[in-house]
Structure 1
Amino acid sequence: MNIKQSEKFSYGLGDFASNGLFLFVSSYLMYYFSDVVCLDLTVISRILIAGRIVDAVASLLMGFVVDRTRSPMGRCRPYLLCGIWPVSVLFVLLFGMPELSASLRGFYGGTLYVAFCLVYAVMNVPFSTLMSLMTADAGERVQFNKYKCLGSNIGGVFVTGTTMLFVTHLAGNQRQGFLRTTMLFAVLFTVFMLICFFNTKERIRPDGPENNPDIRKAMSSLKQNKPWLLYCAIQFCQLTFMMIRQEATVYYAKYYLGRTELSSALLTFTPIAAVLSAFLMPYAKSKWGARTCVLFGNGLSLMSILCTALCRQNWLGNLIFCLLSALGFSIGTGLVFVILTDTIDYGERLTGQRPQGIMTSILSFVQKMGMAVSGIICTQILSFAGYVPDAAPTGAVMTAIQVIFLLIPGVLALAGVVLAWVYPLRD
């Protein structure tokens, strides 16, 4: 099957929008709440936990919804069209907190973040499932995955590389700067998701009972799918790793390295590395296999974190090894939806069941629970250490930042290595 490049490009634009929204919120919301609108860290922790649990549960439920959806537009594409509008509006409102009392600021931030997470899940789970329904050709799936990774991470580079620049230059203060920046980004993300909706096509439309899958049979089949179970565990480690690093980066650059301006570079490394690795992943998969890529990527991240710790406050060494760590993460996660589709195919061969929406949503649920865990870890450790925004960091705060940015991600990378080592599927 020969699918037009324009469709693959459009699918990539969809992930530019989806990941751009995700990365903006995951990278800057905690900082916006703590240092811009001055919410208490305990309140921030509760907001992040509540939103991410809602996101996780909604992601889980959306898998069942997708598998039972039947429309002329397909199973997944209707949710792209209906979801991008409220997601973009809530995105702007989230970073447009008005002048309120402390209690109302917490209520406003919590309500908007929970609503954003809920609607984002309604849009993003179908988007993630879409690739398994666009083609059954393994080669074409790798190509779709390449464009998905490119779009996702070019969007990430754009967000992390320009956000603070826009925030600084679009207004005289960060509060107004964040609002105007999100308004600009929301328009761009909406346009790109609409392009994805209009230019993609679902070609796999299972007939018969799969349109209304038996939930008990589907769940029973998942228990037998060892590769999928292991990959869910790997993704939990990788997403927790990524979120902790993202949330701690601004604090690490500002307080530990003493160079706030480095935060943009550090945040940009992951999407830049992913763009570079996207061109290599099709060759790497065909040459060494997906399992080896995941194993190598986690191993590279682990070694790079160890070297970063040895560099201490040497900013150049930190940049070099953080870039290598980002490259390791990108290699380890660069084939996520290809591997997911492989486990879906494996499960169908093993049990005759193909609940792709449920499998995607449970994987997404596991990822979101990792994100929820990261929010708890970051806020609680900083709070326990006595962190005060813009105050000179104490020794306890400096240690806490190192634990969040280096020690915990190192443990998660090691767990990823072990899990990838026992992952059974080979190409």
Structure 2
Amino acid sequence: MEEKLTLKEIMSYGAGDFAQNGMFTFISSYLLFFCTDAVGIDLEAAGLILLIGRTADALLSPFIGSVLDRSQTVNGKCKPYIRFFIFPEILLLVLVFAVPELQESVKLLYLGTVYLLFSIAYAIMSVAYFTLLSLMTRREDERLRLNLFKNLGASMGGTLVTASVLKIVERFSPKIKYGFLFAVTGFAFVFMTAGVLCAKNTKERVKAKRTEKLNFIQAFGVTRKSRAWIVLCLIHFSELFFYSMRTQGLIYYCKYYLGRENIGAVLLTMTQIVTKGSVLGRI
């Protein structure tokens, strides 16, 4: 009989998405605003940097999944990646908001390089983390609990970020650049702790059956023929596109049209609270 998951392990798995979604929310909600209003980078150039990073994430994820599928160590498939990449991921998150006071071309080169590296580390961590769920247990009821705590952790991480970052930055006004750096450094320690707990307290129990392995090109050739897979990709793309438009533009709207930048914290947090409430009702 398969070993039952403990509450500690389930909560530790949820802590992983607390960290991952917290970092995603920090970047998706504030990086564009940070680039234009704190660092003074042109909006078009800043938008291009964000596009390159998100594109790299999207293109690399299937390849990372293929590599992960072929990986097998004494510590499992996913946990070694989580243990190793949590530290560079956290460091790169801080460095994204530590843009030096140099010429704009140098700022763009620095930010583009660091954000691209962060996107790669984030993609590796995300694929390993989401795959870990299927390797922790075969039991459907346990997987449901893991998924619920994952969603709860994600919502709590996003809520904490949206509810507090702008308040921290406001205390450093007009030097908001240092406010963002102070905020991201503090959150980095919190996210690192959550990621370490996830890696330390979870266990891979499910051993994959030996089957014929497809290389990346072969796997892509199979999946692209699936209409359901294509529809799912389009839905997910549309969802992320709308989410990015809403979050990236919200602070500008509050600052330049409503005249109150701090309202952005309230509006960004509302969605997170509603999501957390729906998850709590299912636990």
**Normalized against structure 1, the TM-score is what?**
0.62
- Is the 1:87–1:120 contact (alpha carbons within 8 Å) kept by the matching residues of 2? yes
- Is the 2:65–2:127 contact (alpha carbons within 8 Å) kept by the matching residues of 1? yes
The correspondence of residues 104-123 of structure 1 with structure 2, limited to 5 A, is 104-123=106-125
Find the aligned partners of 2:216 and 2:249 in 1 and give their Cα distance: 39
Number of the residue aligned with 1:229: 230
Q: Could you say what secondary structure the match of 1:259 adopts?
A: coil
Which structure has more RCO (C-alpha within 8 Å, separation ≥ 6)?
A: 2
Find the aligned partners of 2:82 and 2:236 in 1 and give their Cα distance: 24
Quote how far apart the aligned CAs of 1:102 are.
Answer: 1.5
Name the amino acid aligned to 2:265. Answer: S
Quote how far apart the aligned CAs of 1:86 are.
Answer: 0.7
- Is the 2:19–2:195 contact (alpha carbons within 8 Å) kept by the matching residues of 1? yes
**Normalized against structure 2, the TM-score is what?**
0.92
- Is the 2:162–2:265 contact (alpha carbons within 8 Å) kept by the matching residues of 1? yes
CA RMSD of aligned residues (A): 1.9
- Is the 1:68–1:213 contact (alpha carbons within 8 Å) kept by the matching residues of 2? no
Number of the residue aligned with 1:99: 101
Find the aligned partners of 1:137 and 1:225 in 2 and give their Cα distance: 27
Name the amino acid aligned to 2:171. Answer: H
Name the amino acid aligned to 1:40. Answer: D
Deviation string, structure 1 residues 241-286 (Cα, Å, up to 9, x no partner): 111111111012222333322100111122211111112457xxxx
Name the amino acid aligned to 1:53. Answer: T
Number of the residue aligned with 1:143: 145
Quote how far apart the aligned CAs of 1:150 are.
Answer: 0.6
Matched residues, number: 281
Number of the residue aligned with 1:265: 266
Quote how far apart the aligned CAs of 1:171 are.
Answer: 7.5
- Unaligned stretches of 5+ residues in structure 2: none
Number of the residue aligned with 1:8: 10
- Is the 1:170–1:181 contact (alpha carbons within 8 Å) kept by the matching residues of 2? no
Find the aligned partners of 1:182 and 1:59 in 2 and give their Cα distance: 25
Q: Could you say what secondary structure the match of 1:205 adopts?
A: coil
Quote how far apart the aligned CAs of 1:152 are.
Answer: 0.5
Change beyond 3 A, Cα 1:40–1:135: same
Number of the residue aligned with 1:49: 51
For the pair 1:239 / 2:240, whether they are aligned, the reply is yes
Find the aligned partners of 1:31 and 1:220 in 2 and give their Cα distance: 39
Find the aligned partners of 1:236 and 1:137 in 2 and give their Cα distance: 30
Q: Return the match for 1:67 from 63, 66, 69.
A: 69
- Is the 2:38–2:175 contact (alpha carbons within 8 Å) kept by the matching residues of 1? no
Question: Which protein shows a greater Rg?
Answer: 1
Change beyond 3 A, Cα 1:217–1:30: closer
- Is the 1:170–1:180 contact (alpha carbons within 8 Å) kept by the matching residues of 2? no
Quote how far apart the aligned CAs of 1:70 are.
Answer: 0.5
Quote how far apart the aligned CAs of 1:225 are.
Answer: 4.3
Q: Could you say what secondary structure the match of 1:258 adopts?
A: coil
Q: Could you say what secondary structure the match of 1:209 adopts?
A: coil
- Is the 2:96–2:115 contact (alpha carbons within 8 Å) kept by the matching residues of 1? yes
Q: Could you say what secondary structure the match of 1:100 adopts?
A: coil
- Is the 2:66–2:215 contact (alpha carbons within 8 Å) kept by the matching residues of 1? no
Quote how far apart the aligned CAs of 1:220 are.
Answer: 5.0
Find the aligned partners of 1:45 and 1:139 in 2 and give their Cα distance: 42
Quote how far apart the aligned CAs of 1:60 are.
Answer: 2.2
- Is the 1:13–1:195 contact (alpha carbons within 8 Å) kept by the matching residues of 2? yes
Number of the residue aligned with 1:79: 81
Find the aligned partners of 2:52 and 2:218 in 1 and give their Cα distance: 31
Number of the residue aligned with 2:19: 17
Deviation string, structure 1 residues 313-356 (Cα, Å, up to 9, x no partner): xxxxxxxxxxxxxxxxxxxxxxxxxxxxxxxxxxxxxxxxxxxx
Change beyond 3 A, Cα 1:214–1:92: closer
Find the aligned partners of 1:88 and 1:7 in 2 and give their Cα distance: 22
